Amino acid sequence: MLLHVVNRSPATSRVYQQALAGMSPEDRLLLIEDGVQGALPQLVRYYAGLEGRLFALKEDLESRGLLGRCAASVQVVDVDGFVDLTEEAERTVSWY
Amino acid sequence: MQEHHDDSDLLVILRHAPHGSSWLREGLDAALVAAAFGRRVSLLFMGEGVTALLPGQQAGALGQKGTAATLEMLEMYDIETLLVEEQGLSCLGLSSDELMLEVECLSPSALSRVLSGHRLVLTF
Amino acid sequence: MADWSPEVAEALAREEGITLTSEHWEILQLLRDFYARYEMAPAMRPLVKAVQRALGPEKGRSIHLMRLFPGSPAKVAARLAGLPKPTHCL
């Protein structure tokens, strides 16, 4: 299982498509930095099919005032959670 | 999946076009350094990175070197596994038989298998 | 690159304590051809491979290049050939 990390918003960048193309069915996806916009109910549809495997970084949501606005299908993790995800994955692949 | 994907130590993913930024060159440099040190390297061209493989590329308007000569040099560094995202090609209306080097096209499912199959993946 | 001449190579070789023979010259020419084609000076491994292809397996070995250009053959030979330092060679 790989952890894919995306730091760009699906509203402005197509990098999310590359991440999705690279993902195996068991891989996980973590949204960080501007990527956390993808956790908004309006944008989360780009990540349809990732239920249970889609994460967003709390600190980046918080700093952007988005923490209370995430779609229910997104699991919010803090930096320690990020570390746990990294440890649970064989490797991490960054898409930026 | 074919066996040689698992064989290489490093997968370098190239997602940027020539001339527009230095990402492509930096990705190629990383691949060449690894190969110079005896690592087995595969390249994966994704998204607009596939345009790096178009024939007939030239120096930039200000004489900046392109990357085509470097791609031709890959075989001297024993970098022979060149993978291309099928989707990246079709998005631009290109097909693999018009590229300057022989490549292997990857379907979406093959693509994710290639990523899982490498010990180390660098994205550029 | 354009200012290079065999005389320059001779002078640089003297600095390195090398007397250029025909065996040296064929490597220098090969390096200049490599650069003209690929726009880069090769690191050691691709240099060995290029020599192997052009001059055969006897010469296409690092020991041969080490004997001709002691120390760091890819670097020393690129310098004598009037090329920039090999990019992928630390």
Burial category of C1 from C-beta neighbours within 10 Å (exposed 0-12, middle 13-18, buried 19 and up): exposed
Distance, CA of B72 to CA of C38 (rounded, Å):
7
Instruction: For residue A54, give the CATH number of its domain.
Output: 3.40.1260.10
Name the CATH architecture for the domain at B4-56+64-123.
3-Layer(aba) Sandwich (3.40)
Q: Give the residue numbers spanning the domain of A67.
A: 2-95
A92 CA: distance to closest CA in chain B (Å): 8
Instruction: For residue C34, give the CATH number of its domain.
Output: 1.10.10.370
Q: C65 lies in a domain?
A: yes
For chains B and C, CB pairs below 8 A equal 43
Contact flag C43-B36 (C-beta cutoff 8 Å) = yes
Give the chain B residue whose CA is nearest to the CA of C48. B76
C22 is an active site residue: no
Question: Region A16-37: what's the mean pLDDT?
Answer: 96
Question: What's the maximum distance between 2 C-alpha atoms anywhere in chain B?
Answer: 43
**C-alpha distances in Å from residue A57, one per residue of A38, A43, A65:** 11, 16, 13
* Structure confidence at residue B2 (pLDDT): 44
pLDDT digits (tens, 9 = 90+) for B13-26: 999 999 989 999 99
Contact flag A21-B121 (C-beta cutoff 8 Å) = no
Distance, CA of C61 to CA of C65 (rounded, Å):
7
Q: Give the residue numbers spanning the domain of C33.
A: 6-80
CB of A34 within 8 Å of a chain B CB? The answer is no
**C-alpha distances in Å from residue A81, one per residue of A4, A54, A76, A93:** 14, 13, 9, 17
**Chain-centroid distance, C-alpha B87:** 14
The pTM score is: 0.90
Q: C1 lies in a domain?
A: no
Q: Is C38 in a helix, a strand, or coil? A: helix
Domain boundaries, chain B: 4-56+64-123
Distance, CA of A58 to CA of A32 (rounded, Å):
9
Question: Region B76-103: what's the mean pLDDT?
Answer: 96
Question: What's the maximum distance between 2 C-alpha atoms anywhere in chain C?
Answer: 32
* Structure confidence at residue C87 (pLDDT): 80
CB of A24 within 8 Å of a chain B CB? The answer is yes
Amino acid in position A38: G
